[in-house]
Amino acid sequence: MSLFSKLFGGGASKSEPKGAEPEDHAGFLIYVEPIREGGSYRIGARIEKFIDGELKSHMMIRADTVASQEEAAQISLQKAKSFIDQMGDGVFG
Protein backbone atom coordinates (compact mmCIF):
# COMPACT_ATOMS: atom_id res chain seq x y z
CA MET A 1 0.00 0.00 0.00
CA SER A 2 1.40 3.40 -0.92
CA LEU A 3 2.17 6.11 1.60
CA PHE A 4 -0.67 8.27 0.28
CA SER A 5 -3.13 5.37 0.53
CA LYS A 6 -2.12 4.85 4.14
CA LEU A 7 -2.40 8.55 4.95
CA PHE A 8 -5.56 9.30 3.01
CA GLY A 9 -7.57 6.09 3.23
CA GLY A 10 -7.78 5.13 -0.44
CA GLY A 11 -11.53 5.67 -1.34
CA ALA A 12 -12.98 5.94 2.13
CA SER A 13 -15.19 8.91 2.91
CA LYS A 14 -12.61 10.27 5.35
CA SER A 15 -9.07 10.86 4.22
CA GLU A 16 -7.24 9.23 7.08
CA PRO A 17 -7.73 5.61 8.09
CA LYS A 18 -8.45 4.62 11.66
CA GLY A 19 -5.28 4.01 13.62
CA ALA A 20 -3.22 6.59 11.70
CA GLU A 21 -0.73 8.53 13.77
CA PRO A 22 -2.04 11.82 15.13
CA GLU A 23 -0.06 15.06 15.25
CA ASP A 24 0.66 16.35 18.76
CA HIS A 25 0.14 20.09 19.22
CA ALA A 26 0.29 21.76 22.64
CA GLY A 27 -0.79 18.53 24.36
CA PHE A 28 -3.70 17.95 21.98
CA LEU A 29 -3.83 15.13 19.44
CA ILE A 30 -4.95 16.12 15.95
CA TYR A 31 -6.28 13.46 13.57
CA VAL A 32 -6.52 14.98 10.09
CA GLU A 33 -9.86 13.82 8.61
CA PRO A 34 -10.97 15.83 5.58
CA ILE A 35 -14.37 14.71 4.31
CA ARG A 36 -14.90 13.83 0.66
CA GLU A 37 -17.90 15.57 -0.87
CA GLY A 38 -18.38 14.80 -4.54
CA GLY A 39 -15.25 15.98 -6.32
CA SER A 40 -13.91 18.06 -3.44
CA TYR A 41 -12.82 17.70 0.19
CA ARG A 42 -14.22 19.54 3.20
CA ILE A 43 -11.71 20.67 5.84
CA GLY A 44 -11.98 18.53 8.97
CA ALA A 45 -10.00 17.15 11.89
CA ARG A 46 -10.68 15.31 15.14
CA ILE A 47 -9.05 16.95 18.17
CA GLU A 48 -8.50 14.93 21.34
CA LYS A 49 -6.95 15.46 24.76
CA PHE A 50 -7.00 13.68 28.11
CA ILE A 51 -8.38 16.01 30.79
CA ASP A 52 -8.62 14.72 34.38
CA GLY A 53 -8.13 11.18 33.09
CA GLU A 54 -11.01 11.44 30.59
CA LEU A 55 -10.52 11.50 26.84
CA LYS A 56 -12.23 14.54 25.35
CA SER A 57 -12.90 14.67 21.63
CA HIS A 58 -14.09 17.37 19.23
CA MET A 59 -14.77 17.01 15.50
CA MET A 60 -13.76 20.24 13.77
CA ILE A 61 -15.52 20.64 10.41
CA ARG A 62 -15.20 23.78 8.32
CA ALA A 63 -17.21 25.05 5.37
CA ASP A 64 -14.02 25.36 3.28
CA THR A 65 -13.64 22.86 0.47
CA VAL A 66 -10.72 22.24 -1.88
CA ALA A 67 -10.24 19.97 -4.87
CA SER A 68 -7.08 18.22 -3.66
CA GLN A 69 -7.08 15.63 -0.89
CA GLU A 70 -3.49 16.52 0.01
CA GLU A 71 -4.29 20.24 0.23
CA ALA A 72 -7.35 19.48 2.37
CA ALA A 73 -5.19 17.49 4.78
CA GLN A 74 -2.62 20.31 5.06
CA ILE A 75 -5.27 22.99 5.61
CA SER A 76 -7.13 20.78 8.11
CA LEU A 77 -3.97 20.47 10.20
CA GLN A 78 -3.25 24.22 10.03
CA LYS A 79 -6.81 25.14 11.02
CA ALA A 80 -6.87 22.62 13.87
CA LYS A 81 -3.63 24.07 15.26
CA SER A 82 -5.02 27.63 15.03
CA PHE A 83 -8.26 26.52 16.71
CA ILE A 84 -6.31 24.94 19.58
CA ASP A 85 -4.08 28.03 19.93
CA GLN A 86 -7.16 30.28 20.12
CA MET A 87 -9.43 28.12 22.31
CA GLY A 88 -7.16 25.94 24.47
CA ASP A 89 -9.25 23.51 26.53
CA GLY A 90 -12.31 25.53 25.44
CA VAL A 91 -12.24 23.41 22.28
CA PHE A 92 -14.30 20.90 24.25
CA GLY A 93 -16.52 23.40 25.94
Residue 22 domain-assigned (yes or no): yes
Residues 6 or more apart from 82 whose CB is under 8 A from it?
none
Residue 34 domain-assigned (yes or no): yes
Residue 93 domain-assigned (yes or no): no
Residue 28 domain-assigned (yes or no): yes
Residue 92 domain-assigned (yes or no): no
Residue 30 domain-assigned (yes or no): yes
Residues 6 or more apart from 26 whose CB is under 8 A from it?
84, 85
Residue 19 domain-assigned (yes or no): yes
Residue 63 domain-assigned (yes or no): yes
Q: Using one digit for the tens of pLDDT, what is the confidence trace for 8-23?
A: 544 444 444 444 789 9
Q: Using one digit for the tens of pLDDT, what is the confidence trace for 28-37?
A: 999 999 999 9
Pairing mode, strands 23-25 and 40-51: unpaired
What total number of domains does the chain contain? 1
Identify how many contiguous H helices and E strands the chain contains and give both numbers.
2, 5
Separation between Cα atoms, residue 8 and residue 28, nearest integer Å: 21
Boundaries of domain holding 76: 3-87
Question: Whole-model pTM?
Answer: 0.78
